[in-house]
Amino acid sequence: MTAESLTLKPHSYDKLGAIHCGVLEDYTAVCAGDLHKLDDGESWTFERARVTVRRDGEEFVFTRQ
């Protein structure tokens, strides 16, 4: 299976397949209704959606395998 990815910046949102993802102005990542605030360089996996997000400065990369 190929990984899908989506890159977002604060105050933006999009869909990764059928899953809604976004980034709030305070650097909180949102995925399928779950929230997690990330520090620069941090990664987090949203278990329910099986999506991992990694913050690199202003960019948040959401990846689904």
Q: Cα separation of 34 and 30, whole Å?
A: 6
pTM of the model: 0.93
Summary mean pLDDT of the chain: 96
- The reported pLDDT for the residue numbered 2 is 65
Q: Average of pLDDT values for 19-25?
A: 97
Residues of the chain with pLDDT > 90, as a percent, come to: 94
pLDDT at 20 > cutoff 70? yes
Cα dihedral 20→23→29→30 (10° resolution): -30
- The reported pLDDT for the residue numbered 3 is 81
- The reported pLDDT for the residue numbered 1 is 53
Q: Report the DSSP pairing between strands 34-37 and 28-31.
A: antiparallel
